[in-house]
Amino acid sequence: MLPSGARTLLDHPEWEAMMWQSCSPMTVAPGDRAGFRASLNLWDLGTLGLRLFKAPRYVAVQTPHEIYRAHRQRLVLTIPLDARCSFSQFGRTVQLEAGQAAFHMTTSPLEYVQVEEGAVVILQVPSSRIGLYVSCLEDICAVRIEASDRILATVLGSARAIPDIHAIPSARAKDAFAEGVVASLGALAALLSEAHENQSSVIKRRRLNAVKSFIDAQLADNGLNPDRIASANGISVRYLHHLFQGDGQSVTDWIRERRLDQSRKGLESADLRALTVNEIGLRSGFNNDAHFRRAFKSRYGVAPRDYRRQQLPEFEGALA
């Protein structure tokens, strides 16, 4: 590996080998293989690594084979300084302009495109260091961080200081500085993670509300079950259960509670006094009278017929 701070012009095979060793385990396909020339600077402060390179257009791919060969677990922040690039990872693609940034992981397939010649800053740390600040590292990868982000500005300023810090003789000072940069990367990752969680929460809530509205409209169907609900709403049964678990209940519990609530209102309604207790239960989706009576008494502490008598005086002494 090149010594810290080394800078040289590399042809395509050299560039691919050096980037594979010092950064992400990628195979590189340059736009002009014969004329490809790139420069590379690298500095390491403990587990924190800084890479500064300038390269022409190329496409790099991180394949399962290369990931297995490298067995490298790092989280990488890429910041193009004066060029455009793009990332595709975890089903997302992000386009970066100069000054913007994005994380990626060295443990999952990735495609990186250097759209045009330019300089790029890379900061990398063991994934476990940033995992302390976020619930899921995948959620923060291939997500654009705007150049105006204050924490990103702090990180970039620290990155620019690393060559000078690397040159000082104090190992403790270097370690302390590196810890500060890692903490800033953690703060940046935490903000991305929280934004993702908030967005996911809104999406899940809207989806859950739509599912609950569908269930309410279908309560009279005693064949209503998770399979039918999931199919009608274009989601998997597993995701359906996930939505309700996040709300602190199961799908079947929700259906039962809604049916009981609807039957209770039916028993209270003077407009439905022509219906028997059994018919009200059936209209609410209970498939037999015995099931309805057991569920109602368990929920409200009184049999449905007795509840109706309490709510509608004209049924006092009646059998229905």
Burial label, 22 (beta-carbon count in 10 A; 0-12, 13-18, 19+): middle
Residue that terminates a domain, selected from 199, 231, 252 = 199
Looking up residue 183, the CATH number of its domain turns out to be: 2.60.120.10
Residue 60 lies in a domain: yes
Rounded Cα gap, residues 79 and 99, in angstroms: 6
What total number of domains does the chain contain? 2
Q: Are residues 223 and 314 in the same domain?
A: yes
Helices 150-167 and 171-217 cross at an angle (nearest 10°) of 160
Q: Tens digit of pLDDT per residue, the chain (320 long)?
A: 445 666 678 899 998 998 999 988 999 999 888 899 999 999 999 999 999 999 999 999 999 899 988 888 999 999 999 989 998 998 899 999 999 999 999 999 999 999 999 999 999 999 999 988 887 888 899 999 999 999 999 999 999 999 999 999 999 999 999 999 999 999 999 999 988 877 777 778 888 889 999 999 999 998 899 999 999 988 889 889 988 887 778 999 999 999 999 999 999 888 888 899 999 999 999 988 899 999 999 988 999 999 888 888 776 555 45
Residue 98's domain comprises 9-199
Sheet with 9-10, side-by-side order of all strands:
9-10, 38-45, 48-55, 118-126, 74-80, 102-105
Rounded Cα gap, residues 228 and 304, in angstroms: 29
Q: Are residues 223 and 182 in the same domain?
A: no
